[in-house]
Amino acid sequence: MAKILVPLANGFEEIEAVAIIDILRRAGIEVVVAGLRTGLATGAHNISVACDAVLNAGMANSIDGVVLPGGMPGTTALVQNNVLREIIVEMDRQNKLLAAICAAPAVLYAAGVLEGRIAACYPGNEKEMPGITHSLENHVCDGNIITSRGPGTAIEFSLAIVRYLAGPAAAAGLKKTLVA
């Protein structure tokens, strides 16, 4: 089964992060939650999450993709992290999954992997990503990149990732158990 990296920086959006981690793990996908430093990562609404590891460049060798929750100021910290940027560029070079929700498509944009792509993001964040085609759909799959709009679309987004990694039957079966 696939192994996915979910980086968390202080100020992440809790609904998005927990939905992603939970739904991917329910689907049998291995998830590594990596903080930018040791210890807990604290979300935008003061909910703390224990990280499995500290983000490092070596992680690119053992993962099948990166999924980015949004939230502020967490997204800004992810945009500024050079290690994450290198991992994203490498994942795209290998045509591996890159997914981002809410403000986090800006991380993919900063890494240069959204050029020529269609992406969804939190309403109003489009102005932060000139030169790409923006969608008002709840989630968009464009090749190896999946993007979504915000906390209210987190389950749908996570199921789209399951569909991409494990197939439509796995996503449909999980969706049924979630009553989504």
For the chain, what are the domain ranges? Answer: 3-178
For 55-81, the pLDDT digits (tens) are 999 999 999 999 999 999 999 999 999
Closest C-alpha among 132, 56, 54 to residue 100 = 132
- Indicate which residues carry an active-site annotation: 102
Residue 82 has pLDDT above 90, yes or no: yes
pLDDT of residue 10: 98
pLDDT confidence band for 1 (50 / 70 / 90): confident
Amino acid letter, 109: Y
DSSP bridge pairs for 6: 33
pLDDT confidence band for 19 (50 / 70 / 90): very high
This prediction has a pTM of 0.97
The residues, ordered by sequence, that sit 6+ positions from 84 with a Cβ below 8 Å of its Cβ are 7, 55, 66, 78, 107, 111
Homologous superfamily (CATH) of 3-178 is Class I glutamine amidotransferase (GATase) domain (3.40.50.880)
pLDDT of residue 86: 98
pLDDT of residue 152: 97
Closest C-alpha among 142, 126, 124 to residue 134 = 126
